[in-house]
Chains A and B, each alone.
Chain A
Amino acid sequence: DTGVSQNPRHKITKRGQNVTFRCDPISEHNRLYWYRQTLGQGPEFLTYFQNEAQLEKSRLLSDRFSAERPKGSFSTLEIQRTEQGDSAMYLCASSPGGLNTEAFFGQGTRLTVV
């Protein structure tokens, strides 16, 4: 397994368009996280999946954001009607269960809304 994979790496879109990002976690990891990171800031938690169940969702996640993890494998994050404030790096991470396990991050998808 080559680690967490995110596609696309870069996305430029016009304001108002919908975008979808994909994350393929490490195969045996049951936990999957999405974060948003703006320049010079720490990753902000967006949402969390345990297997296929979405168990946590940040208040930062407006109704325009939706995430899925069908069958507990890959995950998608969709942003509808994008706004310029959505421009950021979107990071996906996966981990096994337990308190003492680190999260493994993908390379991220950089979204630019013009």
Chain B
Amino acid sequence: AQKITQTQPGMFVQEKEAVTLDCTYDTSDQSYGLFWYKQPSSGEMIFLIYQGSYDEQNATEGRYSLNFQKARKSANLVISASQLGDSAMYFCAMREGVNGQNFVFGPGTRLSVLP
């Protein structure tokens, strides 16, 4: 069974608009971490934002925020004021396990920002 599901293979957004990228996850652990990474066409994996399972506040990092709904097991990424440079693949990932050793990724969403 897939641990991480990203149901949007591709998304389009107009420059300066906000966009939400969906992520749902599956775990039986009580303690886990959720991460979002960006992979531009150059190929490097860039860490964006982290949310811990016990964090009560939604994480924010600049223009990135994470809409964490624990009961629904969802961790959606919100990008505000989209920029052309935001065009990339976005991956949701989860770290779980007794020592946090399992680190798995979803299939990704390709975001295209339109001028």
Q: Contact residues of A with B, CB < 8 Å? A: 31, 33, 35, 40-45, 48, 50, 55-56, 89, 91, 93, 95, 97-105, 107-108
For the residues of B in contact with A, the DSSP-based class is strand
Contacts A/B (CB < 8 Å), 12 sampled: A31-B101, A33-B103, A40-B108, A45-B104, A48-B101, A50-B99, A50-B101, A56-B101, A91-B45, A99-B52, A102-B35, A105-B44
Task: Give every chain B residue within 8 A of A41 (Cβ-Cβ).
Answer: 107-108
Chain A nearest CB, measured from B110 CB (Å): 8
Residue of B nearest to A95 (CB): B103
B31 / chain A contacts, CB cutoff of 8 Å? 99
Interface size class of B (residues with CB under 8 A): 20 to 34
| Least distance between A74 CB and chain B CB atoms (Å) | 19
**Contact mask for chain B residues 22-66; partner A; CB cutoff 8 A; 1 contact, 0 none:** 000000000111010000000111010010110000000000000
- State whether A98 and B100 are in contact (beta carbons under 8 Å apart), knowing that A42-B91, A89-B43, A107-B44 are contacts in the complex: yes
How far is A101 from B101 in the complex, measured between Cα atoms in Å? 11
Contacts of B100 in A (CB 8 A): 97-99, 101
Task: Give B91 Cβ to nearest chain A Cβ, in Å.
Answer: 5
Per the bound structure, the CA–CA distance linking A107 and B4 in Å amounts to 23
